[in-house]
Amino acid sequence: MNAGITYMDSPLGPIKIIGDATAIKMVSFVDQIGEEGAGILPIQVRKCKKQLVEYFAGKRKEFTVPVDPEGTDFQKEVWSELLKLPFGITSTYAKQAVKLGDIKKIRAAGTANGKNPIAIIIPCHRVIGTDGSLTGYASGLDKKEWLLRLENSLPNMNQTSMFE
């Protein structure tokens, strides 16, 4: 299937979206808006762009576009668990490792989060340090903090998580 590429402006800077008629393959922050391919964008790419605009406007808490990120089986398992983490809730790398079956997977889970090719929609920004610190966001901690503020989910010690 033919992949489509589009760009959009966001409050955090330009975003590049890649996908085809069946799923989104990539959403990433980029330095500048690039050239889009000629022709009609695949339906999922158009839906993704619309949903991201709604998210940034505070009108969307859940994404419905299908995603199909490329990665190892373990990375896909980590990303699948991230998709279960609801809007407004944070978790920790340690809880994520336990959810994956082994606390010793904490570093591997953190590495997989860092390789997430579908920012925002696969919400790796919702995973924080065990001490509540904002750590480990490939696009920068300033963006992570902004996204958590948008979701009213900056960490506090009274927050519960589905990963507990």
First to last CA, the chain: 40
pLDDT digits (tens, 9 = 90+) for 23-65: 999 999 999 998 877 678 899 999 999 999 999 999 999 999 9
Backbone angles phi, psi at 61, to 5 degrees: -115, -10
Residue-level pLDDT at 154: 67
User: Domain 4-56 adopts which CATH fold?
Assistant: Double Stranded RNA Binding Domain (3.30.160)
In this structure, the strands spanning 24-29 and 91-92 are: unpaired
Q: Which fold has domain 73-150?
A: Arc Repressor Mutant, subunit A (1.10.10)
Out of 124, 127, 147, 150, the active site residue is 124
Domain coordinates of the chain in residue numbers? Answer: 4-56, 73-150
Rounded to 5°, angle at Cα 153 from 147 and 157: 140
Q: For residue 3, give Cα distances in angstroms to 6, 37, 46, 86.
A: 10, 9, 12, 29
The predicted pLDDT at position 123 comes to 96
124 has catalytic annotation: yes
Q: What is the pLDDT of residue 156?
A: 54
pLDDT number for residue 102: 87
User: For position 137, what pLDDT does the model report?
Assistant: 85
Q: Which residues of the chain have pLDDT under 50?
A: 157-164
Strands (E), the chain: 4-8, 15-19, 24-29, 91-92, 127-128
Q: CA–CA separation, 111 vs 90, rounded Å? A: 18
Quickly tell me which residue has 């998210």 as its tokens: 55
Residue 51 is predicted with a pLDDT of: 98
